[in-house]
Structures are given as structure tokens and as C-alpha cells.
Amino acid sequence: MTLTFEQALSLVKTRLAAAALAPSVETVPLAEVRGRILAEDVPADRDLPPFRRATRDGYAVRAADVATVPAELECIGEARAGKPWLGDLKPRSAVEIMTGAPLPEGADAVVMVEYTRRDGSRVEVLRSATAGENFVPRGSEAQSGRRVLARGRRLGAGEVGLLAAVGRTQVRVFRRPEVAILPTGDEVVPADATPEWFQIRNSNALTLAAQVEAAGGVPKLLGIAPDQIEPLRALIEEGLKSDLLLLSGGVSAGKYDFVETVLAALGAEFYFESVAIRPGKPLVFGRAGTKFFFGLPGNPVSTYVTFELFARPVLQMLAGAEPTAPVFLRARLGKTLAHKTGLTTFMPARVERVGSDPVANLVAWQGSGDLVGVAAANCFLVVHPEQTALAAGDWVDVMGIAD
């Protein structure tokens, strides 16, 4: 039975959730946590901001003193970031203040310097300000003890900065899952080999390794499996020692496609063996013992697409994060397209801004073995089964190509 794209993705998530796999935890220095998954809740260790922080250069004032303008005030001091003015602001007075500095006690507004005139210690305010204007209240971003980052959060640059802001120099994260990568086929040779005219270089393993790293995993390259049952079995058994096994090739109905035969002999349970997508229809997902595996198609573009659609969410779950479905963005179609496959189809395309809209145009490519076409693309145009004809200018879905 061939599942739809939505059915297959739902089944993958359901099986992983039911397995309730719990990755181990390790403590990592803050400088090394980018891309990792947080294994603990992180609270603020103090109010953020810890003081009333000016957002403009100007003068800290009492709003009541500048309700009617022009208003003349006496400048009695200066506050700048790291050098607060420590007095109590009295009526009819002002403190010169710089962006990022704490507001003095007694002040409740900042008048922007553009709306003032200075003459010695006298400041003429030309525009009124309301209480609360041009500063951020203390604790308005987070109050002391409040959770600012939740367990399961993927740590990017912004999260790293926030961890530093709350005083964390190390943090508990989930161990990165190890992903075994095994391309198959007698026609496949190492990337550094000089191939015969009938052979192809092993691009799939290195593409998958890059995708695994980008998704937060640790790739383990197992070499190349020949189209022979015993050597293939030994390599698959080795791959099943990792957290996830990715095979490419050998999952179609050919005479020498032995991947499913070997997995079945190892007691594997197959959850699906075909998905209504193009490229990537002959896609296998299952479990052998406690380990999940994907049998990805051998054509390079099929391998790339099926990893992004199905293996990436599994890797997220194995890493301790919530899985995310592929994100489809919207663009206008550049040229009319007829489509009657009945499959969810992913075609290499480029999106460029034309006027005020993003516009997607297909790139020249020769099918699921064409990496040159993919290298020329910055997205995949997604055509759904019900979309049998699309006109130029129609809004369509696109899926970005991961770095």
C-alpha cells in the first residue's frame, strides 16, 4: 500500500513517539552548545532587564514637568550605560541619558534629544512625553525565576546569547544521535576514485552526512555495500548499532535490490514501503530491534528530498526535540505548469523577488539523478496531487533547501 505524504509523515512521528526513546544527557560549555537540544528548563537569575533601561538618547524627566511645552528644566547630571546617575530626580530637573543607561529614581520618561535645546545646564524641552515613554521597564522581558528557555529547545545564536545573559556558562543538553549512513550498489565507488564509465561516485553518503550534521546528528559513514546479501547483512548489522540507520539504494523491486530481504531476515518490522511522492516513491521505514531505519531511494535528489521530509523529523526526536513538519513557504509561479501525476511532487526551482512578490521558476534538470539541477536551485517547488494545472502568477508552495 502506498501512503500519502501526510499519512507517511504522521506514521513516522507516531512510531517514534510510541517508542518513547530517551536520549542521554551531557553538560556542555556555553561556547559549544549551538545547534544542540536543551535538556533542562532555564530560569532567569534576575529581572530582565535588571533596571529601567533607556531606549533613546535624550533626557530622563518627570512626565508631569513636560506636559506643557516648551518646558525649561535644569540638567543636573548624566547617565550612561555602565555609569548610572545615582541621585533622586527632583521636579523641574532632568538627567542627560544615553541609550542602555538606567533611568534615575524619580524619572518616568525619556525625551529624545532631537526634541530638546541645550544651553549650559538649561534644557528646553520642545515636545511632551508621557509616563513610560522611551524606556523598557525592569523585569518586562522576564522576571527573576521565570523560565526563559524550555527543555527541548534547539539552541541557536539567540538562545546562546540569552543563556549568557542569565549567567549560564555551561548547560545540560541531549547527546547528539549517531546516524549510520550506508549507500548500496555495485555501481557506486568512493568519491575520490576514478570511476569506470558505468560507475558513479558516492555522492549520497556525503550529502546525507551534511544533512545529518545540519539536523543535529553525528554521521557515521559505513562505506559502500555491494549488491550481495552477506556483505550487505554485515554492514546493516553494524549500522543498527547506531541510533538511526539510513540506507540509500536497493529498496526498489529490482533483481539485485536486497535491502528489504536482509532487513526482513534480521526480524525487521516494516511500517511502509512506498509513499506517493516524486521523487522518492520507493521509501522504506521500519524498525529492527530497538533501532529505526530508512531505506531511501538511490537517486541523489530522491535521497535528499526524502531525508528532509521524513528522516529529519526522526533525527529531531532522537535528539530530544519536538519534531517539526517540513515548512512550505508561498511564492507566485513564474510560468504555467501542467501536472497530472497524482503525487506530491518536489521540483528544483529558484525563488527571486519580482516587484513585491517572491516568484518561483523551475530550473533545468533531468530528473532525480540530476545534482547539477539541484545545485542551481534554492528551493523545491511543491505541487500537490490535486493541482493538475497551475497558471503563471498562481500562489504555490515551496520548500527551502537546507544549508
Q: Indicate whether 391 belongs to any domain.
A: yes
Q: Indicate whether 19 belongs to any domain.
A: yes
Query: In sequence order, what E strands does 155-283 have?
Result: 170-174, 178-183, 188-189, 200-201, 218-221, 244-248, 269-272, 277-278
- Average pLDDT in the chain: 93
Domain that holds residue 148: 26-48+140-174
* Higher-scoring residue by pLDDT: 258, 39: 39
Let me know: does 331 contact 396? Beta carbons within 8 Å: yes
Let me know: does 129 contact 63? Beta carbons within 8 Å: yes
Q: Please check whether residues 71 and 17 belong to one and the same domain.
A: no
pLDDT reported for residue 185? 86
Q: Please check whether residues 30 and 66 belong to one and the same domain.
A: no
Cell output for 57: 538618547
Sign of CA dihedral 79, 85, 88, 92: negative
pLDDT digits (tens, 9 = 90+) for 288-307: 999 999 999 988 999 999 99
Of 314, 294, 308, nearest to 183 (Cα)? Answer: 294
Q: Indicate whether 192 belongs to any domain.
A: yes
Average pLDDT over residues 238-252: 89
Cell output for 217: 546528528
Cell output for 374: 539541484
Is residue 330 scored above 90 in pLDDT? yes
Q: Structurally, how many domains does the chain consist of?
A: 4
Helices (H), ranges, 319-393 = 371-375
pLDDT digits (tens, 9 = 90+) for 44-93: 999 999 999 999 999 999 999 999 999 999 999 999 999 999 999 999 99
Q: Please check whether residues 74 and 123 belong to one and the same domain.
A: yes
CATH of the domain at 95: 2.170.190.11
Q: Please check whether residues 87 and 111 belong to one and the same domain.
A: yes
Q: Please check whether residues 181 and 167 belong to one and the same domain.
A: no
pLDDT digits (tens, 9 = 90+) for 123-145: 999 999 999 999 999 999 999 99
Cα(271)–Cα(204) distance, integer angstroms: 24
pLDDT digits (tens, 9 = 90+) for 89-126: 999 999 999 999 999 999 999 999 999 999 999 999 99
CATH of the domain at 345: 2.40.340.10
The dihedrals phi and psi of 320, each to the nearest 5 degrees, come to 100, 5
Sign of CA dihedral 333, 334, 339, 341: negative
Cα(266)–Cα(236) distance, integer angstroms: 9
Q: What does R_g of the chain's alpha carbons equal in angstroms?
A: 30
Q: Please check whether residues 336 and 268 belong to one and the same domain.
A: no
Q: Please check whether residues 168 and 185 belong to one and the same domain.
A: no
Sign of CA dihedral 200, 214, 275, 364: negative
Average pLDDT over residues 2-18: 92
Residue 256's pLDDT band (cuts 50, 70, 90): very low
CATH of the domain at 265: 3.40.980.10
| C-alpha distances out from residue 245 to 75, 140, 205, 320, Å | 70, 46, 12, 18
Q: In what order do the strands lie in the sheet with 178-183?
A: 218-221, 178-183, 244-248, 291-296, 284-288, 269-272
The three-point CA angle 13-15-21 to 5° equals 95
CATH of the domain at 164: 3.90.105.10
pLDDT reported for residue 252? 61
Stated as kind and residue range, the H or E segment containing 122 is: strand 122-125
Let me know: does 60 contact 89? Beta carbons within 8 Å: yes
* Higher-scoring residue by pLDDT: 25, 249: 25
Q: Please check whether residues 243 and 180 belong to one and the same domain.
A: yes
Q: Indicate whether 375 belongs to any domain.
A: yes
Q: Please check whether residues 186 and 259 belong to one and the same domain.
A: yes
pLDDT digits (tens, 9 = 90+) for 205-219: 999 999 999 999 999
DSSP state of 116: E
Q: Please check whether residues 75 and 36 belong to one and the same domain.
A: no
Residues 6+ apart with CB under 8 A from 138: 47, 49, 50, 51, 52
The dihedrals phi and psi of 264, each to the nearest 5 degrees, come to -65, -40
Residue 342's pLDDT band (cuts 50, 70, 90): confident
Cα(110)–Cα(25) distance, integer angstroms: 47
Is residue 316 scored above 70 in pLDDT? yes
Q: Indicate whether 323 belongs to any domain.
A: no
Is residue 5 scored above 80 in pLDDT? yes
Of 315, 371, 372, 385, nearest to 174 (Cα)? Answer: 315
pLDDT digits (tens, 9 = 90+) for 371-384: 898 899 999 999 99
